[in-house]
Amino acid sequence: MSEYSILLEMAKTFHGDACPGIIMGTRMSIAGMRELGMNPLERNRNLLVYVEIDRCATDAIQAITGCTLGHRTLKFMNYGKFAAIFVNMDTGKAVRIAAIPKQNGQGENMAETVQKLAVIPESELFSIREVSIRIPEEDLPGFPLYKEICSVCGEQVLDKKEVVKDNRVFCKNCQGKSYYSYK
């Protein structure tokens, strides 16, 4: 079984099927890790990945790299792009893999699209560029370095995600930047 087949199977198992996003995420992971000199068949504890989309490709990247939000090795940047930055924490080298936009084939079914994406030359599928990235210490894996208590709700806010206004500490919800409201 080829490396690609093994990695694709890992992504399919994690996600539940092999859709175009799983193919893209699998190939992105292979390219990103190759560029960093890492083997995607081995767990790389010094790998950090920033994903720019909350779609299927992110599941493949998580399944293949082993990077997770809980371990603070997977970072979600909500840019809505099929792109990811792979960072070798030991060397500081970072590479951004981004999908090259293509016109969707009219009348293609998902199986045809999956087959096409699996064989398109990488150079036609992705742009691959080395990038510089500054990772704030509060975003590094490990235990929280910073903890604050919201002056309104009393909940704890970790990792410098609080808002300070007029020398008072607020969580984003109490500062009016919430995605929810209490009933």
Burial class (CB in 10 A: 0-12, 13-18, 19+), 126: buried
Which one, of 136, 135, 159, lies nearest residue 148 by Cα?
A: 159
CA triple 80-85-91, angle to 5 deg: 165
Report yes or no: 124 and 100 within 8 Å, Cβ to Cβ: yes
Tokens of residue 124, six digits: 């036609």
Question: DSSP per residue over 56-77, as a string?
Answer: HHHHHHHHHH---TTTT-EEE-
Hey, what long-range contacts does 156-165 have (CB within 8 A, 24 or more apart)? Answer: 160/136
Tokens coding 14? 């994690």
Sequential pLDDT tens for the chain (183 residues): 899 899 999 999 999 988 999 999 999 999 999 999 999 998 888 999 999 999 999 999 999 999 999 999 999 999 999 999 999 999 999 999 999 987 555 567 888 888 888 889 999 999 999 999 999 999 999 899 999 999 999 999 999 999 999 999 999 999 888 888 778
Q: Where are the alpha helices (DSSP H) in the chain?
A: 3-15, 20-35, 56-65, 110-119, 122-125
pTM of the entire predicted model: 0.89
Sorted by sequence, the CB contacts under 8 Å of residue 111 that are 6+ apart come out as none
What's the alpha-carbon Rg for the chain, to the nearest Å?
Answer: 19
Write down the pLDDT at residue 81: 96
pLDDT at 47: 97
